Amino acid sequence: MQLSTLDWGLIAVFFIVSLGIGIYASRRSGQNASEFFLSGRNMPWWLLGISMVATTFSADTPNLVTDIVRKDGVAGNWVWWAFLLTGMLTVFIYARLWRRSGVMTDLEFYELRYSGAPAAFLRGFRAIYLGVFFNILVMATVCLAAIKIGSVLLGLSPVQTLLISSIVTVAYSTLGGLRGIILTDFFQFILAMIGTVLAAYYIVNLPEVGGLTNLLTHENVRDNLNLIPDMNKDRDLFYSLLIIPLAVQWWASYYPGAEPGGGGYIAQRMLAAKDEKNAILATLFFNVAHYALRPWPWILIALASMIVFPDLASIQTAFPNVDSSVINDDLAYPAMISFLPKGLLGLVIASLIAAFMSTISTHLNWGASYLTNDVYKRFINPDAAEKQLVNVGRISTVLLMIVSAIVALFMTNAKQVFNLIVLVGAGTGLIFILRWFWWRINAYSEIAAMVISFLVAIYFNFIHVKLGFTPLENHVQLITGVLVTTVGWLIVTMITRPTDQKTLLSFYKKIRPSKGGWMPVIEQGQASNDLSVTDIETGKLPIQILCMFIGSIMVYAALFCVGFWLYGKTGDALMATGVSAGCVVALVYLWRKL
């Protein structure tokens, strides 16, 4: 493709503004580790919420949604829509608990909650396991999307794409720290949303598509519009796409950005909030925007691609210079973007670059915080000066980017990585939920869950078929992984020594969780006069859980509402609007009780 001077000018302005924000924030970010990784713990909810949304709006997300829609229809998105339940659990239960913890990273939690060498080992190992292994895997999928966008829209080689896109991202991430990233996210998210909405409008009205009405009635599209999988049409698909994600996946699996019980860069944003209220409002805004407001432009473009590029061969024919190894359904998104006119094309390309940079910058800072605070400071140099910690963070940022880019060069499809990550984390999610509310969970519980789930994932992905067994569906692998892992860590929990009383008591007094699962600790603390009546918080867990379900219904109704209006189903749209509005009223009422 040939970009006009206007297109290149818009892209250049975007890079300059992003770099300028990083330079602006660099003076404060370099003061100490708290400023570099948590922006001084004084961020307002709206900036943090937008930053969370911007981070999850990565360059690979539209590609992933396109891949899902082309393969399984609109209803296929339940594989990630189901994680809303996890998000709402974080909003109404875990956001306040994380903010109370006062830790620098969510991994520091381990030595707050558990005791002895197992707690220290878990903290250090998880820092490498999540901050390096998992983090690089996620960043590599985002880099893969950038490679596909660069090859289709700019005619760049994979190496050229990664060099250009990474340099500015690393520059403002290392200069501005989390404050620079959050401020840049605000600018980048606005740009990304404007570009995506305008692109969807233009593409739907292409002559090849023929407008919204023709799109929705086209033979390639009309059977793929259901918001809920049709049980009568395909029972297996109904269970794998809807029932399993809603019944099992959301609470049982770890996935970056949607961890049961909060965690990762979502926890980092909550820890950076001014107070508990700002942490809660930030995560609430994030979940509403992420699930209800943002998916539809991507979905419309994906549906339009089914008319213009009905199969992979048509994509290959249209882009003969693109390496055949990366030709997949996810490539249909950048292929559709190539139809945009000058000016709008530059804006949308800049928005896709913004999506890439917002996600990568967050993962770089998050991963670097683990390596700095939970590896270097904890195990290598406990007496390191603040400036030294900032420098370690900056060096870690650069190294993580280099390795992620290299890994991306060997990848071909983002959805495969999504399935692998979900499977690797299968069965661990319940621990992340219960460890705040059940005293008996210890460091060995988490170590066992992590090891067992990883071995199960390795077996299904690399050994099962080689032994001559028939490959299992993803949802069967997930359920099996959850069962094996959960039984395993429960057994380990009951046969190993619990965390010592002093650590448990300190954790309870600091976090003040609901007392139900902490009664043995409370009784022993009262008997030894280490715990007074004023230290015991009865909690409002039943109301919080009720808010979680009402909040989930509110967002799902809003999601369906937008879809029904687009589909022209006025009656269904009005009903969904009413349900969502009713849930808002109920939440406002219950909020006062919390």
Mean pLDDT per 10-residue run, the chain (594 residues)?
A: 78 82 72 77 89 80 89 90 92 90 89 93 89 85 81 79 82 79 85 89 93 93 89 79 84 75 83 89 92 91 94 87 76 87 85 82 88 92 88 90 87 63 72 92 92 86 79 80 91 95 92 89 89 77 92 96 93 95 94 82
Structure token pair of residue 347 = 């804006």
Question: Which is nearest to 64 in space by CA: 11, 138, 14, 129?
Answer: 138
DSSP letter at 114 equals S
Q: Which residues of 27-43 are buried (b: 16+ CB within 10 A; e: fewer)?
A: ebbbebbbbbbbbbeeb
Q: Please provide residue 500's backbone torsions phi and psi, each rounded to the nearest 5 degrees.
A: -65, 150
Distance (Å, rounded) from C-alpha 582 to C-alpha 494?
44
State whether residue 278 is helix, strand or coil. Answer: helix
The count of other CB atoms within 10 Å of the CB of residue 46 is 13
Structure token pair of residue 129 = 């396991």
Angle (CA) 81-183-201 rounded to 5° is: 50
Residues 6+ apart with CB under 8 A from 317: none
Residues 6+ apart with CB under 8 A from 55: 185, 257, 265, 358, 359, 362, 363
Residues 6+ apart with CB under 8 A from 384: 376, 377, 392
Structure token pair of residue 562 = 């937008």
The pLDDT score that the predictor gives to residue 414 is 58
pTM of the predicted structure, to 2 decimals: 0.86
Angle (CA) 271-132-64 rounded to 5° is: 85
Structure token pair of residue 249 = 């996946």
The pLDDT score that the predictor gives to residue 7 is 83
Distance (Å, rounded) from C-alpha 493 to C-alpha 490?
5
Distance (Å, rounded) from C-alpha 220 to C-alpha 331?
18
CB 305 within 8 A of CB 333: yes
The pLDDT score that the predictor gives to residue 198 is 92
The pLDDT score that the predictor gives to residue 256 is 66
R_g (Cα) of the chain, nearest Å: 24
The pLDDT score that the predictor gives to residue 443 is 94
State whether residue 254 is helix, strand or coil. Answer: coil
CB 278 within 8 A of CB 286: no
Residues 6+ apart with CB under 8 A from 312: 327, 328, 329
Task: HSE, CB side, 13 Å, CA atoms: give it for residue 158.
Answer: 20
Structure token pair of residue 109 = 């939690």
Q: Please provide residue 43's backbone torsions phi and psi, each rounded to the nearest 5 degrees.
A: -85, 140
Distance (Å, rounded) from C-alpha 346 to C-alpha 6?
7
Structure token pair of residue 148 = 């596909």
The count of other CB atoms within 10 Å of the CB of residue 227 is 18
Torsion angle (degrees, nearest 10) of CA 33, 37, 42, 44: 170
CB 353 within 8 A of CB 14: yes
Q: Please provide residue 522's backbone torsions phi and psi, each rounded to the nearest 5 degrees.
A: -65, -45
Structure token pair of residue 478 = 């997930």
The pLDDT score that the predictor gives to residue 31 is 67
Query: Strand runs (DSSP E) across 293-407, as ranges?
Result: none
CATH topology of domain 5-412: Sodium/glucose cotransporter (1.20.1730)
Angle (CA) 165-170-175 rounded to 5° is: 140
Q: Where are the domains of the chain?
A: 5-412, 425-499
The pLDDT score that the predictor gives to residue 563 is 93
Question: Which is nearest to 272 in space by CA: 340, 381, 185, 349?
Answer: 185
